[in-house]
Amino acid sequence: MAFGVIIIGDEILSGRRVDKHLPKVIELLTARGLSLGWAEYIGDEPERITATLRRTLASGDIVFSTGGIGATPDDHTRQCAAAALGVPLALHPEAAELIRERIRDTHPANSPHPVDLDSPENRHRLNMGTYPQGASIIPNGYNKIPGFSVGDHHFVPGFPVMAWPMIEWVLDTKYAHLHHAMPHAEKSLLVFELPESTLTPLMEKIEHDFPSVRVFSLPSVGDAERGGVYARRHIDLGVKGEPEAVAAAFVKLREGVHLLGGDIVEPEAAAVAAAAGKPRG
């Protein structure tokens, strides 16, 4: 079981909006000792949304989907989720009451007319409470109009001010037992004067000798903005996984880089040196 996120909306793919969900979901998961396994971006294309949900629903993963759960013509997520599950859409009673509450809340206090819940406009708003049959609601503290869950798939609006607290609610209500369940550590060093091809056999040996550890290698042609040693071509080389194994693997990694003739700087020391070398504003 992995955590995944599906970010839906033509506005993201066209550049009209910049996605903020991905870094926030990573932040929310990390704060709870969890990690994101994958992410996908999809436009407002019903066939592709349905196919994606059909695949992810069969995966057993815990998935957050943002966007497309409104009731305008470009909102397709609710319908696609129902199609992927092979069930009809149904008006959720609790969602319907919350939507009616929202309608009452937004009715002008000085209006000479009472709230007409049966007006065409207000009846259309109830479509936001039609979910795949059997769904449960996700509370929305911002405007009361809920999202919904089907199994381990959780659907929230595209608006960050609504979506992020709703995702937090799901994580803390449904998956509290997973928080910090798997201790995790990560250690790295900056390597200079060695290409990745030279480091690859060492990386493979580390993963072979420490099965619970994954090795990562992030090459850089140099970051002039950060300055200091970061401005030089380097590789951010490290290990992550179970803390005790990471500690032992990191010792072997450092020894191996030394034997290969690499120049090593700890990221913490590099950051301090880079900051010290920057002119003050």
Q: What percent of the chain has pLDDT over 90?
A: 80
pLDDT score, position 279: 46
Average pLDDT value over all residues in the chain: 92
pLDDT score, position 281: 40
148 vs 263, more confident: 148
pLDDT score, position 280: 40
Residue-wise pLDDT tens digits, 39-56: 999 999 999 999 999 999
Complete DSSP assignment for 186-247? EEEEEEES--HHHHHHHHHHHHHH-TTEEEEEEEES--TTT-GGGGS-EEEEEEEESHHHHH
Q: At residue 35, does pLDDT exceed 50?
A: yes
Q: Dig out the tokens for 172 from the structure.
A: 């803390």
CA distance 210 to 193: 26
Q: At residue 270, does pLDDT exceed 70?
A: no
Mean pLDDT (whole number) for 181-197: 91
CA nearest to 263, candidates 198, 216, 209, 207: 198
Q: At residue 227, does pLDDT exceed 80?
A: no
135 vs 181, more confident: 135
Mean pLDDT (whole number) for 220-239: 84
Q: At residue 271, does pLDDT exceed 70?
A: no
* Four-CA torsion 267, 273, 277, 278, nearest 10 degrees: 40
pLDDT score, position 266: 82
Residue 187, CA distances (Å) to 192, 221, 237, 265, 278 in order: 17, 21, 9, 13, 26
Q: At residue 28, does pLDDT exceed 80?
A: yes
Mean pLDDT (whole number) for 138-166: 97
Residue 194, CA distances (Å) to 207, 222, 233, 238 in order: 20, 14, 10, 15
Q: Which residue has the tokens 């479509």?
A: 127
Q: List all residues 6 or more positions away from 193 whose beta carbon is below 8 Å from its beta carbon.
A: 261, 262, 263
Mean pLDDT (whole number) for 104-129: 90
Q: At residue 228, does pLDDT exceed 60?
A: yes
Domains of the chain: 3-178 (3.40.980.10), 185-277 (3.30.70)
Residue 41, CA distances (Å) to 21, 38, 81, 228 in order: 11, 11, 16, 36
Which pLDDT band holds residue 273 (cuts at 50, 70, 90)?
A: low
Contact call for residues 232 and 273 (beta carbons, < 8 A):
no
Which pLDDT band holds residue 231 (cuts at 50, 70, 90)?
A: confident
* pTM flag (> 0.85): no
pLDDT score, position 111: 86
CA distance 134 to 102: 23
66 vs 108, more confident: 66
Give the three-class secondary structure for 266. Answer: coil
pLDDT score, position 72: 93
CA distance 67 to 272: 41
Q: List all residues 6 or more positions away from 277 whose beta carbon is below 8 Å from its beta carbon.
A: 227, 228
